[in-house]
Amino acid sequence: MNRLIIMAAALLSLVSCSRPEPSTARRELDRLWKGSPVEFRHTPEMKAEAFGIEREGHKFVISSADDTGALYGVYSLLRDSMQIPREESPAFPLRLLNHWDNLDGTVERGYAGHSLWDWDALPDSVSPRYLDYARENARIGINGTVLNNVNASPQILSHDYLVKVARLADVFRPYGIKVYLSVNFASPMVLDSLPTADPLAAEVTDWWKNKADEIYSLIPDFGGFLVKANSEGQPGPMDFGRSHADGANMLARALKPHGGIVMWRAFVYSPIDADRAKQAYMEFQPLDGKFDPNVIIQIKNGPIDFQPREPYSPLFGAMPQTDRMVEFQVTQEYLGHANHLAFLAPMWTEFFEYVKPSSLTAIAGVANIGDSDNMTGNPLAGANWHAFGRLAWDPQLSPARIAREWIDANLLIPGSNIPDSIYSGLLDMFLTSREAVVDYMMPLGLHHIFAFGHHYGPEPWCDIPGARPDWLPKYYHCADRQGLGFNRTTSGSNAVEQYPEPLRSQLNDIDTCPEEFLLWFHHVPWTHRLKSGHTLWDELCYRYERGVSTAEDYCRRWEEARPYIRPELHADVAERLRTQAADARWWKDACLQYFREYSRLPYPTGVTAPV
Ligand code: GCW
């Protein structure tokens, strides 16, 4: 009887006592703002990950339904304690970084050193940098990370590696971050010598089911798989005469009992006869409605490959019965690597002008992170990591606001009284930088005239023996004596057909096609007049020249801002900006000299002839 009374009393006290304080949120608060007048309030009716901040007398109250919401509330309060009361919740439930990190420590398209993951030292030794990484991500609302390259080594699914992955998951969990893995479709053949990886073969489905059970026994909140299949030589279901849907659904069914998901990439790239810009749509659109509910199709923002400017991929509008997510590239594979300043928020908000965030289930960004001291190589590239997270949280945020947040917190000497004119010069550098890159690399809709392999400098003349057909000279720019640009209209490859009306007709007509996409969709005569009144040739020259002078101007502005910038950053960035300006001139000289062999027109006044 006594025991019963004690148990009832204990139960009663559990019910009446409020939920314990969210421990990570409290720890972060104590670390970043000791003695702060903040109280946490458990508010179960709020949405997952959401938070509210209000004032009660002298204290701040952060309300949330869960610990992650409380943590996000802390970071948000530290960023802005003025706009109160406010309530926020994320626009996308899944906000992921994709690491293209290989198990040997290299990073594909990474420009910030080696991989942050020290696979050899794990699981016994856990670098303190994993915690820094988790905090940086939680600060901007990232809630998932795919640890390894989409060109995936099957070894990541071996037991030894899964134990290491589990250690990382333990570090990230308190910060609301789940781990995911890229998987190689042929894993059962490589790891366990199965004769096939056919997604419809019973032994294969069993293998994946057992693998999923093993993963979840080590990592109960494992997020799921990311898959690059039948693209650039990676294995996939089509090797066995099956479709992307067969492959994705088989994996999805193995993960489903545990609540995991499959992100199946639509970046399919193999030498085909059709215009490469059409390939993803051609392969995936017919499969709409055939994917299981826990599959999301992960589509790059544009139809080709992370170019400085691309129109949105028409696949986003073509699979209404399938969950879709966008893949942005935070690392600057095609935007000057770690040398150029290219603040990417304007590029990503431009995408959202065409694709409604509410039509997407999730968002991923290919990380620009490595083991360099600042984790991003170029210190200014930290602004892109920040921007990706902030836009994943709220795609309506303006690039200017995001840039200001980052500049204030990271660039300026605390307390430095920077004059308005210098501050707005700095801000303007960020906001114009992506457009400047477009100007000096590939204006007016030109694309993919990069050097083969490293994707850094210009090579519109590329004719590497043995290169893929679309790398052959002129595949993308189609320069000839008449003009320049890829005819994707109804009289050409008809890629316009993949876009809905009225956009399709607008793109199809040389007079209504937005000029930033002109040479993407049209083969334009050299003497065709553009809106500026200039001929195509003259306008092309002016754009390249404008790109160069903008890049040169950045060096001057940066110098002017020197007294207000953290000294350890100033010299490093100054050097990179000088490289950027020199590269801009290199791009201009190389491209104009090359295209002039076709246009045979003089350089217009005001444009310095290449030396
Ligand atoms: O952008 C291209 C890159 C490849 C990359 C591929 C992809 C991971 O050049 O390095 O491979 O896209 O997205 O799969």
* Residue 169 one-letter amino acid: A
Note the pLDDT tens digit of each residue in 513-541: 999 999 999 999 999 999 999 999 999 99
Residue 474 has pLDDT above 90, yes or no: no
* Residue 315 one-letter amino acid: L
Structure tokens at 340: 């150029």
Q: Does the CB atom of residue 267 touch ligand 1 within 6 A?
A: yes
Note the pLDDT tens digit of each residue in 164-209: 999 999 999 999 999 999 999 999 999 999 999 999 999 999 999 9
**CA neighbor of 393 nearest in space, from 179, 91, 103, 608:** 91
CA torsion through residues 356, 275, 537, 455, sign: positive
The answer to whether 487 and 495 are in contact (CB under 8 A) is no
CA of 547 to the centre of ligand 1 (A): 27
132 labelled catalytic: no
Atom of ligand 1 nearest to the CA of 109: 10
Q: Does the CB atom of residue 305 touch ligand 1 within 6 A?
A: yes
Instruction: Give the gyration radius of the chain's Cα atoms.
Output: 26
Note the pLDDT tens digit of each residue in 302-319: 999 999 999 999 999 999
Q: Does the CB atom of residue 448 touch ligand 1 within 6 A?
A: no
Domains of the chain, residue spans: 19-88, 94-410
Span between the terminal Cα atoms of the chain, in Å: 98
CA angle 155, 161, 164 (to 5 degrees): 155
Return the percentage of the chain with pLDDT > 90, whole number: 92
- In degrees rounded to 5, what are phi and psi of residue 98? -110, 120
Choosing from 49, 275, 305, 538, the catalytic residue is 305
Residue from 99, 108, 300 to probe ligand 1 pocket by mutation (most atoms less than 8 Å from CB): 108
Q: Does the CB atom of residue 100 touch ligand 1 within 6 A?
A: yes
CA torsion through residues 332, 333, 335, 338, sign: positive
Residue from 267, 298, 313, 456 to probe ligand 1 pocket by mutation (most atoms less than 8 Å from CB): 267
CA of 366 to the centre of ligand 1 (A): 10
* Residue entry with tokens 């030894």: 160
Q: Does the CB atom of residue 310 touch ligand 1 within 6 A?
A: no
232 labelled catalytic: yes
Q: pLDDT band at residue 6, thresholds of 50, 70 and 90? A: very low
323 labelled catalytic: no
Pick the CATH number of 94-410 from 3.60.20.10, 3.30.1280.10, 3.40.50.1370, 3.20.20.80: 3.20.20.80
**CA neighbor of 485 nearest in space, from 297, 173, 245, 277:** 277
Atom of ligand 1 nearest to the CA of 327: 13
Note the pLDDT tens digit of each residue in 256-281: 999 999 999 999 977 666 799 999 99
Residue 20's pLDDT is what?
83
CA distance 405 to 345: 13
Residue 2 has pLDDT above 60, yes or no: no
* Other Cβ atoms within 10 Å of 205 Cβ, number: 17
Residue from 98, 99, 100, 149 to probe ligand 1 pocket by mutation (most atoms less than 8 Å from CB): 100
The answer to whether 291 and 263 are in contact (CB under 8 A) is no
* Residue 523 one-letter amino acid: H
| Cα atoms in the 13 Å half-sphere on the side-chain side of 144 | 26
Note the pLDDT tens digit of each residue in 422-444: 999 999 999 999 999 999 999 99
CA distance 569 to 565: 7
CA distance 365 to 363: 7
Q: pLDDT band at residue 465, thresholds of 50, 70 and 90? A: low
DSSP class of residue 229 equals -
* Residue 248 one-letter amino acid: A
How many residues belong to the chain? 611
Q: Which helix (H) or strand (E) holds 405?
A: helix 399-410
CA angle 154, 155, 159 (to 5 degrees): 125
CA distance 190 to 340: 40
Choosing from 232, 480, 559, 568, the catalytic residue is 232
* Residue entry with tokens 């992370």: 306
* Other Cβ atoms within 10 Å of 503 Cβ, number: 16
CA of 267 to the centre of ligand 1 (A): 9
The answer to whether 376 and 336 are in contact (CB under 8 A) is no
Residue 1's pLDDT is what?
39
Q: Does the CB atom of residue 150 touch ligand 1 within 6 A?
A: yes
Cβ contacts of 96 within 8 Å, gap of 6 or more: 142, 143, 144, 145, 146, 180, 223, 362, 363, 364, 365
CATH architecture entry for 19-88: 2-Layer Sandwich (3.30)
Which residues, in sequence order, are bridge partners of residue 86?
A: 53
Residue 466's pLDDT is what?
66
* Residue entry with tokens 């798989």: 225
